[in-house]
Amino acid sequence: MIVGCSNNQQCARTLLHFNVESLPSDAIISDVQMVLTLAKTDIDDSMMLNIHQIMSNWTRTDMSTPDGDRDSWQENLAGTAANDGDVTWKWAMYPDTPWMTEGGDVSPTILSSVESTKDNSFLFFPMAEEFKTVVTGWIDGSIPNYGVLVKRDNEDPSDSRMRIFFHEVSGNKARRSPKLLITYSSESEPEQKESQPSGPGIVLPGEPTRPP
């Protein structure tokens, strides 16, 4: 997964969808963080990354399971032809459903931000009230769960800083997969859900608490 701009002055964003249907609808969130793991860490320049709420449907929203082999990041940077169902800068679902706004239909509100430096291999996007409100809405059904989009705060095509992250089928997925860490309480289900094998089953460096 790539965020930022390349040497050929093309910018990339990353879209993520987390399935929260197993959580009780009366969940009261006390903490929520999103975690991304860098796949390429030999980058000196720091950069700020923001996450935004996606406002319309795209391919992975309805098919939130790994879809097989992926191109390498070198191939992705070079560019490949879109296949049916792919998500691109112009298409939410190629070739039938374009984005209303190229680059993705997102809310302008920043849900959370984190500075990526050469020293942090794991990026923890901290909770903000807007972030908690959106995730709570996903869980209780009041907000459609179209996921989030990650972008650089300043997308200048002439500035070739970027970050490359592991996706959900990258090697040791229990450690490398994108994660949504949710701490909550619930009257209907007082026992919190156990972490799934592809979720936060271990403590990552910098993770504040062991997942329940």
Count: domains in the chain: 1
pLDDT digits (tens, 9 = 90+) for 109-131: 999 999 998 778 889 999 999 99
Q: Is residue 202 a part of any domain in this protein? A: no
Output the six-digit token pair for 98. 């374009």
By residue range, what is the domain housing residue 144? 2-185
Output the six-digit token pair for 105. 């239909």
Q: Is residue 129 a part of any domain in this protein? A: yes
Q: Give me the residues paired with residue 36 across strands.
A: 123
Q: Give me the residues paired with residue 113 across strands.
A: 50
Q: Global pTM?
A: 0.84
Residue 28, pLDDT score: 94
pLDDT digits (tens, 9 = 90+) for 130-153: 999 999 999 999 999 999 999 999
Q: Is residue 199 a part of any domain in this protein? A: no
Residue 72, pLDDT score: 63
Look-up of token digits 């560019």: 79
Q: Is residue 212 a part of any domain in this protein? A: no
Q: Is residue 208 a part of any domain in this protein? A: no
